[in-house]
Amino acid sequence: MARDILHKMKTLAGVGWRRQLLVAEACASMFAARMLLLVLPFSRVAGRLGDFVSPADPRVAQRAAATTPDQAATARAIGWAVRSAAPFMPFRSVCLQQAMAAHAMLRRRGIASVMHFGASPSGARAIDAHAWLDAAGVKVTGYPIPKEMGEIACFV
């Protein structure tokens, strides 16, 4: 475990200051998402995420579609930063916090995204839930999606 952390720290040291800043922003965004989810009811948090729509809503495909190469590169870089930082957060940064963090980072850059929500039965009356994010034709966070996961709704 310590060897893995040292390897990742060396990797981060070698990626350049722009990516290092992106990882720092991802950490701050995941922390903010965690705090929002701890302090506010999800109904209040949801209001900050956009319109809650069916996956069949035309805005879903429109906002997830490929845009400019620069926006796609930014979406890929943000996805990388969030996924890279998540294991090192002082709390368990689950798919919802990662999607919320990437969504906020993309929004700050004027890039539209779609946050998807899905669920699947896990037996004994429990449900497994999952969140994932698409933007600019890029699968930003939450991939791969478990094949038994059914999409329920989206925020656009």
Question: Domain total for the chain?
Answer: 1
Place of tokens 């999800």: 42
Nearest to 133 by CA among 79, 94, 81: 79
Rounded Cα gap, residues 113 and 133, in angstroms:
7
pLDDT above 70 coverage of the chain, percent? 88
Write out the residue range of the structural domain in which residue 67 sits.
2-155
**Is 80 exceeded by the pLDDT of residue 119?**
yes
Contact at 8 Å (CB) between 113 and 50?
no
**Is 90 exceeded by the pLDDT of residue 108?**
yes
* DSSP-H helix ranges across the chain: 2-13, 17-39, 42-46, 58-64, 69-85, 95-108
Place of tokens 């906020």: 104
- Average of pLDDT values for 88-97? 92
**1-46 per-position pLDDT tens digit:** 566 666 666 666 667 779 889 999 999 999 999 999 999 998 999 9
Q: What is the pTM of this model?
A: 0.88
Within a 10 A sphere around the Cβ of 77, how many other Cβ atoms?
A: 17
